Structure 1
C-alpha cells in the first residue's frame, strides 16, 4: 500500500463511518436553528457593530463589548465584529473596552424587526487595569490577562513567546537551536507532549518525531510580528484536540504593519540580531490589501567554553485583503533555518574534579540543524445572519538533525555513545469551522461546529550511532511514518440567566498510524486505527460585578508515537487526561485582578517511545493536583506588578508511597516582577523566575536543584527611534537550566556512575538594541 493510499483509505473510512451521522445531526440542528431564529427575529431587534483602532483603522479582535441593561458581554470576532440578537425594543448602553485603549460608552436604540449597526473607534491610551471588567465569558477573562502581559512584558526572544503562559517554564539544553524543554502544571512536558501549540492556526507540535512526541520548535516565530496570544490550561477546549492536556497556546501574527521597522541588537558572547519589517503595498486604508515582509537574522557564540556558532534566519511574507463585502483572505509563507554546535549535558563529577569548567563539555561535537517552510491560507466569510465561517489549509516542509551524547562511553567504550536523530517531514492540514449567535427558548446562545484533518508524511525517521558527527557506525532505528488525524467537534454556549452560563462540547478524533520499519529483512507495513471521544463542560457564574466563579471539566488526550502504536498493536495508544478546574476571576479593587484555581488532572496508563534509545517504555498512570494563582496590580498610573505562583503535587498512581515521584515534575514555580510605562517614552521591567527543588528520580533520592534568576529590560522611545537594554541574569547567579538523573561513563572510568547531568544557565549577559520606524 502506498502512503497516498493509506491517507485516502483513512479519509474514506472516516467518511463512511462518521460523516453521514454528523451530517444528519447538523442538518436537523440547522433547520431547528433557522425556524427558531426566524420566528424570534420578527418580534425583536438586534445590535451589530465593528470595533476599530482609531489610530490605525484596523479592526480589533477580542475587544470587550457589554450590553449594560442585560448584563450580556461579547468579544469581537476575527473580523472585529460583535452582535446582540433578539433584543426587546428600547434604549440600551454599550460599553466597549480593550486593554491599552480608552473605554467608551455609547447609547443605541433598538426597534423591532431592525438591526442597529454601529462602527466604533477606540483611541489608544496608557494601559489601565481600572478598565478591565470581569465577565461570564471565561475566554475573555483569560485573554484579558494575555493582553496585559503582552503590553507590559517585553518579548525579546522566541523563548519569551512561550513564557507568556502563566506558570510555564522552559529550559534549553542543546546549544540554543533545539526546541526548549517545557514545564507546566506538574508536567515535564519534554518538548511538547502535553501542550498544544500553534501559530496562525498551523500546528507547531510534531507528532511521532525523531526526538520526542509533540516536539515543538517555536524558533520560526519572529517575536516582533506577534499580535496576540490565546492560551489556557487544562483539557477543556473543544476546538483543541491532540496534545491538549496540560494546556494550549495559540499565537497570531500581525495582519498588517503600521510602519516599516528596522532593529539592530548586539551583546556579549558574539551575539548579534537584526529584524526588518517592511510594508510592501503601503495601503492607505484597511480596505486596501496589505502585504508585508518580516525578516530576522540571529547569531551567537554563546557563553560555553566551546563556541556554539548558532545562527538562525527567519522570513515571513503575509498578505491580507478584504476580497468582498463579507470575505477576508489571509495568505502567508514563511521559512526558517538554523544550525548550531552544542556542549550538551555534563556530569557534576566532571566539574567538581576540575576535568571541565561549569561551562565545559565532554563531547563538543554535539549540535544540529533544522529548517521549516510553511504555506498558510485562510478565508473568513461572514454570513448574512452574522455568522462566521473559517476555512484554512496549511502545508509545512520540515527538516531535522540533532546530534547528542548523554552517556558518553557507557555503551561503546571505544567510539563513544553519540547518537544522531534525523527526519524529513511534510504536513498537510485543513481546519474549518462555523460559528453563530442565536436564541434557544429566549436564552442567548452561540454555536460552533468544526472539522478538519492533519496528515504527517515522515520520511527516513532515523536514530543512528555516530562518531564525531560525521560517521554513521550503525542504525538503531529507521523507517517511514504516515500519521493521519481527522476530527470533528461541536460546542454550545448557553446563557442560562444573567449570571449563569454553560458551555458544553463534544469532540471526535480518528487516527490512522502507519509505520514501515526499514531495518527488518522483509518489507512490512504496520497499520493501526483508533478513535476517541472527548466531552467538555464548563459552568460560569457571575456572582457580582467583579467576581466570576467557574468550573471547568473535560477529557483530553495525547496520541502516542506511531512506533509505540504498532508495537502495542493499537492497545493503550491514546491515553486520556481527565481534568477539573474550580476557580475564580476576581477584581477586589479597581487596580487589582486575580485569577485563582484549584485543579486536578489524571492521566491514563501510557507507553512512551524513547527517541534517544529507540525503545518503548511503560509510563504508568499519574495524577496531578494543585493551585494556580495569578495577579495583576497597577500600583500607579505607570507602575505595574504581576506575579504567578503555581503549586503542584505530581504522583505516579500505581507505585508504592515514597517511590511514586514523577522525575523532574515541578512542584512549586513562580514568576513575576515590576513593569513600567511612562508617558515620556520610558518602559521596562525587572522580573524574576523561581523554580523550586524537585525530584530527579522516582524515590526522590536525587534532587534537581531549583533556582532564582532575575532579568531586566529598559526601553526608551523618542520620535521614530527605540533604544533598549536587555540583561539576563542580572545578579550573575550560577544556576543549572536543564537537569537529568543519568547513568554515564567517562572515558577514564571503569564503572558507570548515575548522578545529575546538567546544562548551565546563562551568566550575566547584556544586549543593546536600536530600532527605527519609517
Structure 2
C-alpha cells in the first residue's frame, strides 16, 4: 500500500494484499472473526486513534467529551460506554480497566500509533475459550510491527492548532530488530474554549523471529492532558446561552498517563505450538466533568466532580497447542492459563469547583485478582466438517478498603463458560459456521461490596454480582463464490443475565434488567482490479430488556440498531492514491419507552494522496466532507442551568466536528 511500512513487497497494491490478509477460509471458527491488515488500516483517514477499531465490522467509535478521554463504543446493540463487553489488547497488554474511576472496562486507545499497527485480529461473540472478561460482544487484538521496511518521518498539520509529528524506525540490533516510535501531538479542536490537548507518546520494541516462533520485549509510554468541552444541554444552545461548540464549564478536562512493559514468546515445536506473555502496567487519571451543572450543589459552586485513580496492574497468559491424530481424525488440543492483578491506591470520586476539590464522595483502595484456565479441542471429522469445543473457568476475588467503612469488604465469584463451534465446508470457497457459547463480564469491585449510598452514608444500596453471565448463538457463512469478492454473513443472538452497573459518576450502583439482543451483520470486500477495491460493512440489531415492563418500557437506551461503514480505495494510479469512506450511525432510543430518540448521522471522510518521489508522499485528509451538523453522541437526562429553579429533562449532545482539513507529508529513509 502506498505510504505503508510493511513486509509485503511494495509492488503489491493495497487491494491485493488486503485480499490475502483477510481470507480466513479453513481457519476461522465463526463468521464474525477476521483480520484487519496494516494496508487496510493505512488507507483509512482516522480522526482519532481509537477509530482504528471502526475497521471491526459493525463497531462505531465516537466521543462525548474531550479527545484525551477514552472513546465511546457501540457494537451489536450495545452502548459499550468506554469499553465494557468489548475486550481490547495492544501488544498482548489488556487495555480494558476493571474497577476504573470513570467506567467499568474503560478503554483508552489514545496511546495507539496507527502507523505502527501490523494487524488487528477481531472476534465477536462469547464463542472462544481464549477470550475472557469484557469479550461478550467481541474482542480485538492489536499488534505492532516487529520491523519496518524503512524508517519514517511524518508531519501532519491542520486547522484549529492541529500538529502531529511521528518518527519511527527499526534498525537491526544484536541479531534482532529494535522498533521505535515517538509521537508528539497538539490539538485545540473546533471548540470555543481551546481543548489544548497535548500528547507525548512512544513505543520501543525489541524482537527476534516471528509471531509464532520468536520473542519480543515492548515498552510503551503515554502522557496526555486536555481541556474538555463535554456534552451540553440542547436548551442552552437553543436559547443562545452557548454556541454549538461552546461549554457550560470551561474548567472540565483531564490528565492521564500510561506506562507498560511486556514480553511475548512463542515456540513452534514438532507437532506443537507454545505461547506466553507477561505484562506490567502503571497508569493514572484525573478527570473533571460536569454533566448536570447546578442540579445537586447549586451555582456556585456547581456540580463539577473529579474521578481519579492511580493503578498498578500485572498479568500473564500461557498456552500450549498440540497437533495430533485420534483414530484417524486430525485434532488440535489447546490449554491455557491466564492471570491478572490490579491494585488501585486510591480510586476516588470528589466534588470539585474549577478543578479545586471541595469534598470527597468516596475514596477507596482496591485489589482485584483473577485466574483463568481454559481448554479447547478442534477435531476435523471429515474434509468438510470440523468442530471446536472449549471450556473456560474463571475465578475472581475483590478486596475493597473504603473511606466509608460500611462499603469496605471482600467478594469473590467463579464461573464456568462452555463454547462450541461447528464448521461445515468449504464448498466452492464457502464455509458455514454454527456457534454457541457462554461469556461474562466482571462488575466494578466497589459495587460488589457496597451497602450504603456514599453521598449520604445512610441510604441502602444493592450490591452487584461480581460476574454477570452472557449466552450467545450465531449462524454464519463466509464465501468467495465470485473471484475477488470476500463476503461474510452472520445471524446472532446474545442474552445477558443482568446489566447492573457501578456508576462512577455517582459512586453507586444502578440497577438494570436482563436483556436480549439479536441481529445480522454483512461484511464485504470486493477487489475489482489491482487499483480499485470496495468494502462494505452493514449491521442491524434489535435490543430489548427481557422482563417486560409496560410502565417503564423495554428499550435499552443507547442501543443502536443500524450501522454501515462503506469504503472505496484506489491505488496504483500513477502517483495518485486515495480513499473515500462513509460511516452511518443510526438512531437510538434514549429512554426505555422509546419516546425520545437520537438522530442519525452519516459522515464522509476523504483521503487524496500524491507520491512526490518513491519515498516521499503528500496526503490531504478531509473529515466530515459535506460539513454535516450532526452529533457524535446524544443523551436524555435531567440537568439544571444557572438561573433555573429546578432540574429539567433535556437532550444533551456533543456535536460532530465540522469539516476539517489535515495535510500530511511522509518520508521514508
Common fold: TM-score over 0.5: yes
- Give 1:624's aligned residue: 517
- Cα shift at 1:565: 1.2
Evaluate the alpha carbon distance shift between residue 760 and residue 447 of structure 1 in structure 2; reply closer, same or farther with a 3 A threshold. Answer: same
Range that drifts further, 140-149 or 256-265: 140-149
State the alpha-carbon separation in 1 of the partners of residues 360 and 5 from structure 2. Answer: 56
Equivalent residue for 1:747, pick from 638, 642, 652: 642
Whether 1:503 aligns to 2:394 is no
| Contact kept? 1:130, 1:590, Cα under 8 Å | no
| Contact kept? 1:572, 1:605, Cα under 8 Å | no
- Cα shift at 1:529: 1.5
Q: Output aligned runs, 1:716-755, within 5 Å.
A: 716-717=610-611, 718-755=613-650
Whether 1:335 aligns to 2:335 is no
TM-score by length of 1: 0.81
Q: Output aligned runs, 1:228-243, within 5 Å.
A: 228-243=119-134
- Cα shift at 1:655: 3.0
State the alpha-carbon separation in 1 of the partners of residues 5 and 535 from structure 2. Answer: 29
| Contact kept? 1:369, 1:401, Cα under 8 Å | yes
- Cα shift at 1:452: 2.1
Evaluate the alpha carbon distance shift between residue 156 and residue 678 of structure 1 in structure 2; reply closer, same or farther with a 3 A threshold. Answer: farther
Evaluate the alpha carbon distance shift between residue 202 and residue 565 of structure 1 in structure 2; reply closer, same or farther with a 3 A threshold. Answer: same
- Give 1:31's aligned residue: none
Whether 1:303 aligns to 2:190 is yes
Evaluate the alpha carbon distance shift between residue 501 and residue 327 of structure 1 in structure 2; reply closer, same or farther with a 3 A threshold. Answer: closer
Q: Output aligned runs, 1:234-313, within 5 Å.
A: 234-281=125-172, 288-313=175-200
Q: Output aligned runs, 1:560-575, within 5 Å.
A: 560-567=443-450, 572-575=465-468
- Give 1:643's aligned residue: 536
- Give 2:372's aligned residue: 487
Whether 1:399 aligns to 2:280 is no
Which has the larger Rg?
A: 1
- Cα shift at 1:763: 0.1
State the alpha-carbon separation in 1 of the partners of residues 31 and 437 from structure 2. Answer: 19
State the alpha-carbon separation in 1 of the partners of residues 133 and 195 from structure 2. Answer: 34
- Give 1:52's aligned residue: none
- Cα shift at 1:175: 1.2
Range that drifts further, 657-666 or 335-344: 657-666
- Cα shift at 1:358: 0.7
Evaluate the alpha carbon distance shift between residue 682 and residue 435 of structure 1 in structure 2; reply closer, same or farther with a 3 A threshold. Answer: farther
State the alpha-carbon separation in 2 of the partners of residues 378 and 494 from structure 1. Answer: 28
| Contact kept? 1:136, 1:499, Cα under 8 Å | no
How well do the aligned residues superpose, as a CA RMSD in angstroms? 2.3
| Contact kept? 2:23, 2:486, Cα under 8 Å | no
| Contact kept? 1:263, 1:771, Cα under 8 Å | yes
Deviations, residues 290-318 of structure 1 (Å, cap 9, x unaligned): 11220111111110111000011111010
- Give 2:428's aligned residue: 545
| Contact kept? 2:14, 2:40, Cα under 8 Å | no
- Give 2:240's aligned residue: 354
Deviations, residues 197-219 of structure 1 (Å, cap 9, x unaligned): 00111100000000010000011
Evaluate the alpha carbon distance shift between residue 305 and residue 744 of structure 1 in structure 2; reply closer, same or farther with a 3 A threshold. Answer: same
SS class of match (2:52) = helix
Equivalent residue for 1:698, pick from 573, 588, 592: 592
- Cα shift at 1:149: 3.6
Equivalent residue for 2:608, pick from 682, 695, 714: 714
- Cα shift at 1:546: 2.0
Evaluate the alpha carbon distance shift between residue 751 and residue 142 of structure 1 in structure 2; reply closer, same or farther with a 3 A threshold. Answer: closer
Range that drifts further, 673-682 or 485-494: 673-682
Whether 1:474 aligns to 2:369 is no
Q: Output aligned runs, 1:630-669, within 5 Å.
A: 630-657=523-550, 659-669=553-563
Equivalent residues, number: 649
| Contact kept? 1:316, 1:332, Cα under 8 Å | yes
State the alpha-carbon separation in 2 of the partners of residues 378 and 588 from structure 1. Answer: 38
Q: Output aligned runs, 1:411-422, within 5 Å.
A: 411-413=296-298, 414-422=300-308
State the alpha-carbon separation in 2 of the partners of residues 410 and 528 from structure 1. Answer: 34
Q: Output aligned runs, 1:657-696, within 5 Å.
A: 657=550, 659-678=553-572, 680-696=574-590
SS class of match (1:340) = strand
Whether 1:534 aligns to 2:417 is yes
- Give 2:325's aligned residue: 439
- Give 2:262's aligned residue: 376
- Give 2:203's aligned residue: 316
- Cα shift at 1:389: 1.5
- Cα shift at 1:682: 2.6
| Contact kept? 1:134, 1:546, Cα under 8 Å | no
- Cα shift at 1:547: 1.5
| Contact kept? 1:547, 1:587, Cα under 8 Å | yes
Range that drifts further, 717-726 or 308-317: 717-726
| Contact kept? 2:525, 2:534, Cα under 8 Å | yes
Deviations, residues 52-102 of structure 1 (Å, cap 9, x unaligned): xxx9996xxxxxxxxxxxxxxxxxxxxxxxxxxxxxxxxxxxxxxxxx779
SS class of match (2:425) = strand
State the alpha-carbon separation in 1 of the partners of residues 216 and 464 from structure 2. Answer: 41
TM-score by length of 2: 0.93
Equivalent residue for 1:514, pick from 399, 403, 414: 399
Whether 1:430 aligns to 2:316 is yes
| Contact kept? 2:30, 2:435, Cα under 8 Å | no
SS class of match (2:235) = helix
| Structure with the higher helix share, 1 or 2 | 1
- Cα shift at 1:125: 5.4
- Give 2:91's aligned residue: 200
Q: Output aligned runs, 1:20-39, within 5 Å.
A: none
- Give 1:771's aligned residue: 666
Deviations, residues 636-673 of structure 1 (Å, cap 9, x unaligned): 33111111111111001113257101001101111112
SS class of match (1:742) = strand
Evaluate the alpha carbon distance shift between residue 400 and residue 598 of structure 1 in structure 2; reply closer, same or farther with a 3 A threshold. Answer: same
- Give 1:605's aligned residue: 498
Evaluate the alpha carbon distance shift between residue 142 and residue 276 of structure 1 in structure 2; reply closer, same or farther with a 3 A threshold. Answer: farther
- Give 2:80's aligned residue: 189
| Contact kept? 1:134, 1:586, Cα under 8 Å | no
| Contact kept? 2:127, 2:438, Cα under 8 Å | yes
- Give the structure, 1 or 2, with the largest relative contact order (CA under 8 Å, sep 6 or more): 2
| Contact kept? 1:133, 1:546, Cα under 8 Å | no
> Which runs of no fewer than 5 residues in structure 1 stay unpaired?
1-54, 59-99, 103-122
State the alpha-carbon separation in 1 of the partners of residues 209 and 533 from structure 2. Answer: 38
